[in-house]
């Protein structure tokens, strides 16, 4: 068995003057403290990329900066799925015996470390460099295309999408570290500035500065261990022009395999942490995974199904849409919040029951998928 024994999460938003290494360091120090470990206890380090600190060897750069000399270290790149990919990899490394106590970290000054155009252009590179990017495509444009087809196929409406933005904002209001905490209404989402139809500004996550780290261990160390009981990936295609269908990106199969790995069923899931780069992303993932019937995610959100007191509380920190998105650490915030929820330390945000938890993230344009199942010790 493998355990997540500590987590650290900075506030997301504007951290003027803070670098990638600063943000990674802050989150890592918090995670070690949470686990009750010292730097010398760490024998493995895996981290995500940073768009503001592109480097061939970021993990070793960070190890030197933070002050550790691990037996095993490197960087992983899976776009938005990197955080969950790191958790799966750390588990594999622990199970293989390559390392016993692994620091997993992501952080980036994505908001203040570059211009907005630069961030948009870098992210658009997940599209095809010859056949897609030169057309003036952006990440919201790729997702706008996917959303138009989804609405056509499954009958979802722009108002249905907006209900998920409203829910994430409601959740973020209970977290002091969230980038956006002012309540919004469905009408405000619908009236927000168009970005790439049908997506409007409040359907899209913004960019933030921030960092997140966890410690993954072979033993249930410290006061807050939880079990990593299942994990799986699925990669259908990188580019939406090359996807055989825009109705099945592989999230469902990925999750089914992760649950099977854990010996669990979907109806046993008590807490969900699902990637929400756009309202359409969250809609598609919830519905493809089966946490909502097709076309019903917005309706269930409106009914309170995914709320603090709902049947399956979802992203209680506010998700990428409202807690914020700083790259690799974006989805890792879902993980840190799940850890707090599962160990009863979420304060005003505490769900009544958060035992079996399902996490899912995607990278690219629903290109790479990683699912992780966590359980109480």
Partner 1 sequence: MSETLDWTRGGTALHCQQCPSCHHLWYFERDFCPACGHTEPTTRQASGGGVVHATTLVHRAPSDEFRAIVPYQMVLVDMAEGFRVMGHAQPGVAIGDAVHCEVRQIAGRAVPYFLKDDHVA
102 belongs to the binding site for partner 1 (CB under 8 A) = no
Smaller CB separation from partner 1, 141 or 254? 141
Figure out which of the listed residues 77, 92, 121, 353 binds partner 1, where binding follows CB under 8 A: 121
- When the beta carbons of 74 and 239 are compared against partner 1, the nearer one is 239
90 part of the interface to partner 1, by CB under 8 A: no
Contact between 115 and partner 1 per CB under 8 A: no
Q: Which lies closer to partner 1 via its Cβ, residue 4 or residue 195?
A: 195
The CA–CA distances, whole Å, from 205 to 142, 336, 338 equal 14, 19, 20
Counting every residue written for the chain, the total comes to 377
Count of residues that interact with partner 1, criterion CB under 8 A? 35
Near partner 1 in 173-202, by CB under 8 A: 193-199
Please give the helix or strand (H or E) that residue 74 lies within, else none: strand 72-76
Nearer to partner 1, 77 or 121 (CB): 121
Tell me: does residue 144 bind partner 1 (CB under 8 A): yes
Residue 141 near partner 1 by CB under 8 A: yes
Is there binding between residue 242 and partner 1 (CB under 8 A)?
yes
- The verdict on 246 binding partner 1 (CB under 8 A) reads yes
For 261-310, the DSSP string reads HHT--GGG--EEEE--SBHHHHHHHHHHHTSS-TT-HHHHHHTTTTSTTS
Tell me how far apart the terminal alpha carbons of the chain are, to the nearest angstrom.
10
Contacting residue, 16, 56, 115, 135, with partner 1 by CB under 8 A: 135
Task: Give dist(CA 11, CA 276) in Å, integer.
Answer: 18
**Binding of residue 364 to partner 1 (CB under 8 A):** no
Helices (H), the chain: 20-35, 58-66, 82-96, 116-124, 139-154, 158-172, 186-191, 251-262, 279-289, 297-302, 328-342
* CA 105-26-12 angle, 5° bins: 85
Closest CB to partner 1 among residues 182, 193:
193
CA distances from 277 to 68, 81, 96, 103 (A): 33, 11, 33, 25
Q: Is 137 in the site for partner 1 (CB under 8 A)?
A: yes
Interactions with partner 1, residue window 264-323 (CB under 8 A)? none
CB of 193 to partner 1, least distance (A): 7
Nearest to 122 by CA among 52, 33, 218: 52
Whether the CA torsion 120, 326, 180, 113 is positive or negative: it is negative
CB of 158 to partner 1, least distance (A): 13
Residues that bind partner 1 (CB under 8 A): 117, 120-121, 124, 128, 130-132, 134-138, 140-141, 144-149, 152, 193-199, 239-243, 246
């Amino acid at each position: 068995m493998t355990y997540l024994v500590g987590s650290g999460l900075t506030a997301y938003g504007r951290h003027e003057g803070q670098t990638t290494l600063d943000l990674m360091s802050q989150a890592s120090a918090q995670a070690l403290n949470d686990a009750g470990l010292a730097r010398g206890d760490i024998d493995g380090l895996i981290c995500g990329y940073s768009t503001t600190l592109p480097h061939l060897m970021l993990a070793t750069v960070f190890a030197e900066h933070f002050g550790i000399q691990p037996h095993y270290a490197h960087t992983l790149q899976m776009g938005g799925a990197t955080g969950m990919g790191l958790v799966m990899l750390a588990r594999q490394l622990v199970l293989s015996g390559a390392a016993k106590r692994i620091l997993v970290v992501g952080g980036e000054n994505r908001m203040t470390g570059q211009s907005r155009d630069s961030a948009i252009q870098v992210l658009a590179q997940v599209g095809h460099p010859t056949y897609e990017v030169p057309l003036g495509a952006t990440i919201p444009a790729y997702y706008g295309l996917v959303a138009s087809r989804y609405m056509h196929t499954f009958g979802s409406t722009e108002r249905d999408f907006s209900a998920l933005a409203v829910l994430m904002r409601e959740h973020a209001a209970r977290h002091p570290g969230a980038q956006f905490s002012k309540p919004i209404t469905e009408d405000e989402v619908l009236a927000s500035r168009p970005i790439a139809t049908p997506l409007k500004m409040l359907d899209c996550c913004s960019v933030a500065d921030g960092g997140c780290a966890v410690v993954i261990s072979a033993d249930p160390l410290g006061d807050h261990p939880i079990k990593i009981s299942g994990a799986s990936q699925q990669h259908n295609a990188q580019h939406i022009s090359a996807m055989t269908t825009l109705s099945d990106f592989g999230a469902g199969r990925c999750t089914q395999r992760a649950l099977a790995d854990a010996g669990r069923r979907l109806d046993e899931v008590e807490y969900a942490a699902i990637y929400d780069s756009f309202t359409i992303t969250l809609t598609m993932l919830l519905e493809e995974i089966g946490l909502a019937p097709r076309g019903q995610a917005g309706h269930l959100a409106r009914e309170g199904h995914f709320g603090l007191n709902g049947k399956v509380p979802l992203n209680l920190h506010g998700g990428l849409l409202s807690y914020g998105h700083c790259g690799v650490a974006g989805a890792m915030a879902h993980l840190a919040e799940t850890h707090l929820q599962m160990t009863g330390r979420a304060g005003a945000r505490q769900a009544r029951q958060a035992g079996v938890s399902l996490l899912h993230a995607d990278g690219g344009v629903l290109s790479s998928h990683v699912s992780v199942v966590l359980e109480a010790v």
